[in-house]
C-alpha cells in the first residue's frame, strides 16, 4: 500500500500545482476557448501533462519514500541482521535478473514492506522493523521476494502509464466541469472566471480520488503476480506462511489495527474493497494453494 499511496499523493499534488500554474499563465483560458479544434487541443494538452505528472511522480518515488517513511538505507551493515538483509536481497535480485536495489529499514510496529523506483535496476526495497520482529527468516525472505517481484515485473512503470491516462481524463473533464460551473452558476459568459478555477481544482481532487479506484484495481491484480514471484524465488510454502502470519497479526485485536487498515491490508465493506491496494489475504493464500498444491 505504501508505494501506491505515496505515488498517488505525489501525483495528485503535481496535478494541482500544474492547474494553478496553468491558471496563472492563462493556458486554461486559451485552451478552453470555443470550438471543437480547441477541445481536441485541450485533450492532447491534458494527455501530455497527465503523463508528464505521472512520470515525475515515478522519478521522485524513491526520494519521496525515503523522506516520508524515514527509511534508513543500509550503506554499510552494522550488524548480522542488516548483513543478512543485504545478502538476501542481492541473492533474490540476481535470481530475478535485476540490478541490486537499495535496501532500507523504516520504523513501524506493523509488518510491512514496499518496493519503488523508476526502473528495474534503480529500485528501493524497504522493510519495517515490525516485519523483521514478527516474521521468521524464511517468511521475511518470501516478502522480499514478493517485493523484488514487483520490481522485476515493472509494476511501478506500468502503474505510471495507467495513472498517466487517468490523469489526462481527470484534467480534461475537470476543466469541462469548471467551465460549466463558471457559466451556469457564476454567470461568467467566458467561463474562465474565479468560479472556473475553484471548480476545476475541486473537480480534479474528487475525480482524482474516484479514478484512483482504477489504479487500486490494477494494484490488486499485480499482487497475485508478486506473490507468485515470491513463491518462485523462495518457496510457495514460505510465501503462504508469510501471508498467514500477516493474517494472524490483523486477526488478533491490537494497537496495529489502524495501521493495517491504512496500509490497505485490512478493510471491510464494498467501498473499502474498491480502495484496497491488496486483495484479501485469504484469497491470496488460496491462489497459491491452487497454483502450487501440496507445495504450499
pLDDT digits (tens, 9 = 90+) for 224-235: 999 999 999 999
Least confident range of 8-17, 51-60, 107-116, 199-208: 8-17
Annotated active-site residue 147? The verdict is yes
Q: Which of 75, 91, 147, 223 is catalytic?
A: 147
Where residue 115 falls (left for φ over 0; alpha for ψ -120 to 50; beta otherwise) is beta
Q: pTM for this one?
A: 0.83
Q: Tell me the average pLDDT of the chain.
A: 84
pLDDT digits (tens, 9 = 90+) for 107-144: 998 888 999 998 999 999 999 999 999 999 999 999 99
What is the rounded distance in angstroms from the CA atom of residue 97 to the CA atom of residue 91?
Answer: 10
Report pLDDT for 43: 84
- 262 pLDDT band, cuts 50/70/90, is very low
Residue ranges covered by each domain of the chain: 1-296
Alpha helices in 60-110 (DSSP H): 61-69, 80-96
Grid coordinates belonging to 246: 500477516
- 252 pLDDT band, cuts 50/70/90, is low
Q: What DSSP designation does 295 have?
A: G
DSSP secondary structure of 218-256 = HHHHHHHHHHHHHHHHT-HHHHHHHHHHHHHHHHS-STT
Q: How far are the Cα atoms of 130, 220, 287 from residue 267, in angstroms, in the given order?
A: 20, 14, 20
Amino acid at each position: 500500500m505504501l508505494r501506491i499511496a505515496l505515488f498517488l499523493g505525489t501525483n495528485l499534488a503535481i496535478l494541482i500545482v500544474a492547474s494553478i500554474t496553468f491558471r496563472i499563465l492563462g493556458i486554461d483560458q486559451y485552451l478552453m476557448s470555443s470550438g471543437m479544434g480547441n477541445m481536441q487541443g485541450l485533450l492532447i494538452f491534458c494527455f501530455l501533462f497527465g503523463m508528464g505528472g505521472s512520470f515525475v511522480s515515478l522519478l521522485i518515488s524513491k526520494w519521496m519514500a525515503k523522506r516520508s517513511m524515514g527509511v534508513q538505507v543500509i550503506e554499510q551493515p552494522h550488524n548480522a541482521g542488516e548483513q543478512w538483509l543485504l545478502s538476501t536481497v542481492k541473492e533474490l535480485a540476481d535470481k530475478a535478473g535485476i540490478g541490486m536495489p537499495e535496501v532500507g529499514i523504516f520504523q513501524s510496529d506493523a509488518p510491512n514492506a514496499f518496493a519503488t523506483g523508476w526502473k528495474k535496476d534503480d529500485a528501493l526495497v524497504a522493510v519495517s522493523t515490525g516485519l523483521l520482529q514478527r516474521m521468521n527468516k524464511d517468511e521475511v525472505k518470501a516478502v522480499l521476494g514478493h517485493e523484488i517481484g514487483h520490481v522485476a515485473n515493472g509494476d511501478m512503470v506500468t502503474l505510471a502509464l495507467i495513472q498517466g491516462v487517468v490523469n489526462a481524463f481527470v484534467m480534461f473533464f475537470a476543466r469541462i466541469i469548471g467551465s460549466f460551473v463558471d457559466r451556469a452558476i457564476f454567470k461568467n459568459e467566458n467561463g474562465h472566471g474565479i468560479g472556473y478555477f475553484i471548480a476545476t481544482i475541486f473537480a480534479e481532487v474528487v475525480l482524482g480520488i474516484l479514478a484512483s479506484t482504477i489504479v487500486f484495481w490494477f494494484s490488486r491484480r499485480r499482487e497475485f503476480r508478486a506473490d507468485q514471484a515470491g513463491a518462485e524465488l523462495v518457496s510457495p510454502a514460505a510465501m503462504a506462511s508469510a501471508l498467514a502470519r500477516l493474517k494472524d497479526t490483523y486477526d488478533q485485536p491490537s494497537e496495529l489495527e489502524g495501521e493495517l487498515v491504512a496500509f490497505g491490508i485490512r478493510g471491510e465493506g464494498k467501498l473499502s474493497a474498491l480502495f484496497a491496494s491488496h486483495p484479501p489475504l485469504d484469497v491470496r493464500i488460496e491462489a497459491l494453494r491452487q497454483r502450487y498444491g501440496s507445495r504450499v
